[in-house]
Amino acid sequence: MSDTTTENTDTIQRESSSDNYGSKITGFVTLIIISILVILLYFSSSGLILFVCKLAQSNILPTEAKCTPYTVNKPIIQPSPLQTNIFTTFTDPEMSMKLQIPYDINSGNKFIEILRNYKEKSSSHFLANYFISISEALLQFSYSGINTTMNLMNSTLPETAIIILGPVIAAFLYSIGILLNTIYFIGLWFFNMSWFFKTNKNDTGTGKPEWEDVTILTPVNWFIGLGLSILFTFFLIFGFPLVSIIPLILYHKSILSTLFYKGIMNGKQVNSFNIIKETLIHYKITIVTIISILVVLFSFLKLGALSGLFSIMTIALIYYGVISINIFQPIPEKNLTESVSYKQATKTCSSKIESKHKKWFFGLFGGQNGGNLTKELKKIGKMCK
């Protein structure tokens, strides 16, 4: 009877030990799979950031209010297209592939063009133009921020640092961008209230709108403008959680739009997703090295010292070619030429446009042009006489 009990106990212990080791194996494999996915996602985002850095150096983002797509005036970009370095080597002199992101194939921006086309319609309404002006200014602000920060990163950090630290830096800049866009949005909300003191005089149904300032000489329209100013002030204060969605949406739209620009590399048209693929290929050794370190670490933590030592030995045999798996072999470099300058292309707009939005305070009394306040008061004096 005692022998039977002992045998049963030993069997249960063996089964328990087997189940315990099986759970350890499952946990180990799960950790490795999750780690690989996170690493691939991280380096994929590094590839996107690298692409946006080259986009910023090319200086073709819609950062100028006087240029397309905000107006019909095409900017002058020199040189065009600009050659940028990508997938650089550690040789002396430094070698790299060349990526060009031409303005001609990336000049369109459907959303901003829709806003511009509405503003130019004969039936354009002042209230719609109020929100359009806010939206255009926010987009311009976001694109300018992306252009400045990514070009600074591109010109000051080596490419390897951009790949390794880029997502961390971008996450910090992203948070700052949300804050600055929200603050700027609040300012634009008040500054563009000058639109409430404008009226469109073009009722022909053709041509462009003819905006005329509303003054205290037209009291009905003036009080409508004043009432809207007060209403929208209270709406911003009490409905801020709702209206703050506007800068958030536009900020993310500007970021996402940068990923759909097209470039030319090695004679072929590429986009940001091609750069992701090339990043994973060119930085294969870095990625595999990080994964190998995690495999060894998790082996010690989950499976014990013996399994950890076995994983070190296996990785060493692969690295030195005893086990013929070429994961530690660099790819053969092709289409490399000596690196060129990291200087940003210059962009200029030849035409000048006058600001359509003067100080909102003057709009309460004499339309948008603050300098006309004295004239309006003189007119009122004459009317009183």
* pLDDT digit string, tens, across residues 112-123: 999 999 999 999
Angle at 49 between CA 48 and CA 53, to 5 degrees: 120
| Phi, psi torsion values for 229, nearest 5 degrees | -60, -45
Judge whether residue 41 has pLDDT over 70.
yes
Q: What is the pLDDT of residues 155-206, one digit of tens each?
A: 999 999 999 999 999 999 999 999 999 999 999 999 999 999 999 998 888 8
Q: What is the pLDDT of residues 196-238, one digit of tens each?
A: 999 999 888 888 999 999 888 888 989 999 999 999 999 999 9
Buried b / exposed e along 41-55 (16+ C-beta atoms within 10 A): ebbbbbbbbbbbbbb
Judge whether residue 339 has pLDDT over 90.
yes
Supply the DSSP symbol for 121: S
pLDDT at 355 (0 to 100): 47
pLDDT-based confidence at 44, cuts 50/70/90? very high
pLDDT at 349 (0 to 100): 84
pLDDT-based confidence at 328, cuts 50/70/90? confident
pLDDT at 107 (0 to 100): 87
pLDDT at 203 (0 to 100): 83
Contact yes or no for 247/138 (Cβ under 8 A): yes
What are the structure tokens assigned to 52, written together? 């946006």
pLDDT at 261 (0 to 100): 97
pLDDT at 215 (0 to 100): 84
| CA dist., res. 299 & res. 301, Å (int) | 6
pLDDT-based confidence at 6, cuts 50/70/90? low
Kindly state the average pLDDT of the residues 327-340: 87
Q: What is the pLDDT of residues 21-31, one digit of tens each?
A: 678 788 889 99
pLDDT at 54 (0 to 100): 98
Which distant-in-sequence residues (6+ apart) come within 8 Å of 62 by Cβ? 68, 69, 70, 109, 112, 139, 140, 143
Q: Please name which of 255, 371, 278, 257 lies closest in space to residue 331, comparing C-alpha atoms.
A: 278
Judge whether residue 369 has pLDDT over 50.
no
Helices (H) and strands (E) in the chain, counts: 12, 9
pLDDT at 28 (0 to 100): 87
Q: Tell me which of 322 and 143 has the higher pLDDT.
A: 143
Please confirm whether the linkage preceding 158 is cis (ω < 30° from 0): no
Judge whether residue 46 has pLDDT over 80.
yes
Residue 120 identity (one-letter amino acid): E
pLDDT-based confidence at 274, cuts 50/70/90? very high
Judge whether residue 319 has pLDDT over 60.
yes
Q: What proportion of the chain, given as a percentage, has pLDDT over 70?
A: 86
Give the predicted TM-score (pTM) of the model: 0.85
Judge whether residue 367 has pLDDT over 50.
no
pLDDT at 127 (0 to 100): 95
Contact yes or no for 197/222 (Cβ under 8 A): yes
pLDDT at 237 (0 to 100): 95
pLDDT-based confidence at 87, cuts 50/70/90? very high
